Chain A
Amino acid sequence: MSPLLEVEDLKVAFTRRGEPDSVAVDGVGFDVQPGEIVGLVGESGCGKSVTSLAIMRLLPERGNRVTGSIRMDGDDLLALSDSAMRERRGKDLSMIFQDPLSSLNPVISVGLQVTEVLTRHRGMKKDAARREAADLLDRVGIPDPRRRLDSYPHQLSGGMRQRALIAIALACTPRLLIADEPTTALDVTIQAQILDLLKQLVAETGTALVMITHDLGVVAGLCDRVNVLYGGRIVERAERHELFRTPRHPYTHGLLGSIPRLDGPPGEELAAIRGSVNDNLPWTDACAFAPRCPRKLDACTAGTPPVTENGRLLRCINPVEAS
């Protein structure tokens, strides 16, 4: 099966006159199979959101340089004209953001925001679009959908807003959905509802999902394959069970050790990762994680660590043993 989306050597650098470029995404490559759920995991500043914005071509026009290729159906999304990309956005690939209140227009009713997509991409008439919109809201679990069409975003709760946003994103049954921290702003019981909904919709419609999150717990129950990002590069990629059973990269290993677990012994000292992302070294002549790494060797700061791909991708010269 050929992949639905192929990202290759994606680089995003933010440029500013008179200052060196700051590289947010540094050669990220991954693919997504049709119907697959792929996770991009990492902490703030690792480049996961910038990657998703680059795929959607939503980065500002000025002040950044995007190189590499993002192929979907054989076309390079980066080479498409603006109007061709606009045609695809919402129809072939769509996105859900973290904060639903700022991604919905506050002065337009929810109904109009859903029907807009249907009339624009599916050429529906007003009445048919309204009926379809009510159906969509119903499918994402919004009670009393007909009346909700006339509500404004501020009249909905956070969970309901996120559902409305999912309804808009799925209105044209896109083949790829990118969800950027869709549950981070929500309470944990609402998060469970939304994740359950996403899982169910993905299974029903066959939409592939790229899940971007900082929460390893969310990934564990949802994704088929997981990419762990650090400092703008993928440091480890594996199938979900493999990754959690035997995390090989010291960063993945450390991340799992630093999460207090609900089912673990309370009060035990956590195996924290020392330092912070401010200590990162540039990837060009070292491993960025080396200053924080408990398994650091002299060779780690002597050059860029090579990538090995053997069932799982690994960017480390001294990985944790697979026990």
Chain B
Amino acid sequence: MSEPSAPGPLLEVEDLAVHFPITQGILVNRTVGHVYAVDGVSLTIEKGETYGLVGESGCGKSTLGRAILKLTEPTRGSVRFDGRDIAGLRGEELRRARRRFQMVFQDPMSSLDPRQSVESLLQEGMKAHGLTGGHARLQELMDAVGLPKGALRRYPHEFSGGQRQRIGIARALCVDPDLIVADEPVSALDVSVQAQVLNLLSRLQAELGLTYLVIAHDLAVVRHVSDRVGVMYLGGLVEEAPAGDLYTDPQHPYTRALMSAVPLPDPEIEDRRERILLTGDLPSPAAPPSGCRFHTRCPWKQPDRCASERPELRQLDGAAAGHRVACHHAEAIRDGRIQPHKVEATAIDDAAGMPVGAPEHAASVNEILGR
């Protein structure tokens, strides 16, 4: 904010990929395969915008967020932050650059040091970046995130879940960042508290001109806070749209299924709603399906290109600006020229094409990596 910034988007991610090796062996670790956690994602985030990333567990959304901040080393691709490539930064240079992009984690209890008071937690980051953290500045931060005056002298365990998340936000804010990546910022909170934190995030954005990348599994939350939403499936973006259009005009079959699966707190709508029930489970990211990643579960799958050619994100005729979809048959599906058919759930398993040691149905990348 305080820094003069280059014109153009704040963040440009191009063809970013993160592949985790699966290793085996006792003395010498051999690589027997890869988990394709993120596999070729490109996106841009404008200044002052909120970009929401949504997807189910194991789709790579958190890994993507971490790779953007260089908390995980990307396998390939570039990340340009404010016109400068940060994928190549190392050591001291990277540490200094990090002041401008901060992260808010899901579980504030495990991301805050239990033995530091809030004041010392906040000052640690500010000192590391050579900022003077006067008491007045800290007090101002506490006010901004809606914590009581005495909070600075207290320790994380003395706060409730919602208040801890406010501390997590204050910790990110204290170094005056431009971009905040929030990974599941409200999913550990109760509904009534969740709303408080969401309201706080949008108020801070309006006041401080922040740019957000919000990562969450809850489509309603993501859509609520975001200007644009990207939907991820198995390591790739399948659709990207302005938040309003996503519900009114979902174009990718996966987005449609995801939308229809989210329960609405309204019995009248629920009784009338048609659900697109997907059969089966997410395939393992260690052995992603060929072609379109979604073709094994897609009710609109066609025999021609779906299984052989991976679709790129593209804009349909007549779609809103910035609404892109990665599906070969998106027009035909939209116009009703292709009708959905029943998909038999297949028991995805057995060693066929699967690296040894990876669970057949991995619910998450962590499960595959066994940590």
Chain A positions near chain B (C-beta within 8 angstroms): 43-44, 141, 143-144, 147-148, 154-160, 187-193, 195-196, 214-221, 240-241, 244-245, 254-274, 276-278, 292
B residues apposed to A, CB below 8 Å = 56-57, 160-163, 190-196, 198-199, 202, 217-221, 223-227, 243-244, 247, 257-271, 273, 275, 277-282, 344-347, 349, 359-361, 363
* Cβ A143 vs Cβ B280 within 8 A: yes
Contact of B261 among A44, A192, A244 (CB under 8 A): A192
Which of the residues A156, A218, A268 comes within 8 Å of B263, measured between beta carbons?
A218
Flag if B267 contacts A259 (CB, 8 Å).
no
Give the CA-CA distance A272 to B271 in the complex, in Å. 27
| B160 partner residues in chain A, CB cutoff 8 A | 276-278
Per the bound structure, the CA–CA distance linking A155 and B351 in Å amounts to 13
Give A193 to B280 CA distance when docked, in angstroms: 9
- Rounded to whole Å, the gap between the CB of B326 and the closest CB of chain A is 18
Interface centre among A217, A258, A266, A271 (most CB of B within 10 A): A266
Q: Given the known inter-chain contacts A159-B281, A188-B217, A258-B194, please indicate yes or no for A217 contacting B224, CB distance below 8 A.
A: no
What are 18 inter-chain pairs, A to B, with CB distance below 8 A? A144-B347, A157-B282, A157-B363, A189-B258, A221-B271, A254-B192, A256-B265, A257-B195, A259-B265, A260-B195, A262-B259, A262-B264, A267-B224, A267-B243, A272-B195, A272-B199, A276-B163, A277-B160
Cα A54 to Cα B282 in complex, Å, equals 36
Given contacts A155-B360, A265-B244, 14 further A-B contacts (CB under 8 A): A143-B346, A156-B361, A157-B361, A187-B217, A189-B258, A192-B277, A193-B278, A217-B263, A240-B267, A258-B195, A259-B220, A261-B220, A262-B247, A271-B195
CB neighbours of B278 from chain A (8 A): 189, 192-193
Q: Which residue of B lies closest to A215 (CB)?
A: B263
- A154 and B224: CB pair below 8 A? no
Residues of A within 8 A of B281 (CB): 157, 159-160, 190
Q: Is the CB of A266 within 8 A of B347?
A: no
Kindly list chain A residues whose C-beta atoms are within 8 Å of the C-beta of B163.
Answer: 276
Contacts of B194 in A (CB 8 A): 258
Q: Smallest CB-CB separation from A256: which chain B residue?
A: B265
Q: A256-B265, A262-B220, A276-B160 are in contact. Are A188 and B361 (CB under 8 A)?
A: no
Q: How far is the CB of A239 from chain B (nearest CB, A)?
A: 9
Q: Which 6 A-B pairs have the closest CB atoms?
A: A217-B263, A157-B361, A258-B195, A260-B224, A221-B270, A272-B195
Q: Contacts A144-B347, A188-B258, A193-B278 given; indicate if A263 touches B269 (C-beta within 8 A).
A: yes
- Chain B residues with CB below 8 A from A274, complex form: 196
Contact partners of A215 in chain B: CB under 8 A? 263
Q: Hey, which chain A residues are within 8 Å of B275, CB to CB? A: 192, 196
Q: CB-CB < 8 A to A292: which residues of B?
A: 192
Point out the residue from B190, B258, B263, B279 that lies within 8 Å of A220, measured CB to CB.
B263
Residues in A with CB closer than 8 Å to B162 are 276
A192 to B195, CA, bound (A): 24
Q: How far is the CA of A217 from the CA of B226 in the complex (A)?
A: 21
Q: Is the CB of B223 within 8 A of A272?
A: no
Q: Hey, which chain A residues are within 8 Å of B273, CB to CB?
A: 221
Q: Knowing A143-B345, A154-B359, A267-B224 touch, does A43 contact B190 (C-beta < 8 A)?
A: yes
Residue among A44, A256, A260, A273 making CB contact with B220, cutoff 8 Å: A260
- A266 closest partner in B (C-beta): B243
Shortest distance in angstroms between B179's beta carbon and chain A's nearest beta carbon? 19
In the assembled complex, the Cα of A268 lies from the Cα of B244 at a distance in Å of 12
Name the residue among A188, A196, A263 with the largest chain B CB count within 10 angstroms.
A188
- Within the complex, the shortest CB–CB distance from A293 to chain B, in Å, comes to 12
Task: Name the A residues within 8 Å of B279 (CB-CB).
Answer: 193
Q: Are B217 and A221 in contact (CB under 8 A)?
A: no
Chain B residue numbers with a CB within 8 Å of A160 are 281, 361
A188 touches B262 (CB 8 A): yes
How near does chain B come to A45, taking the closest CB pair, in angstroms? Answer: 9
CB–CB A266/B217 < 8 A = no
| Contact A273–B192 (Cβ < 8 Å) | yes
Known contacts A262-B262, A266-B223, A267-B225: A155-B267 contact under CB 8 Å: no
Specify which chain A residues have a CB less than 8 angstroms from the CB of B195 in the assembled complex: 257-260, 270-273
Contact partners of A141 in chain B: CB under 8 A: 345
In the complex, the answer to whether A143 meets B347 with C-beta atoms within 8 Å is: yes
For B220, the chain A residues whose CB sits under 8 A away are 259-262
**Shortest beta-carbon distance from A322 to chain B in Å:** 17
Q: How far is the CA of A176 from the CA of B196 in the complex (A)?
A: 37
- Report yes or no: B265 in contact with A217, Cβ–Cβ below 8 A: yes
A44 & B198 in contact (Cβ 8 Å cutoff): no
Give A276 to B163 CA distance when docked, in angstroms: 9
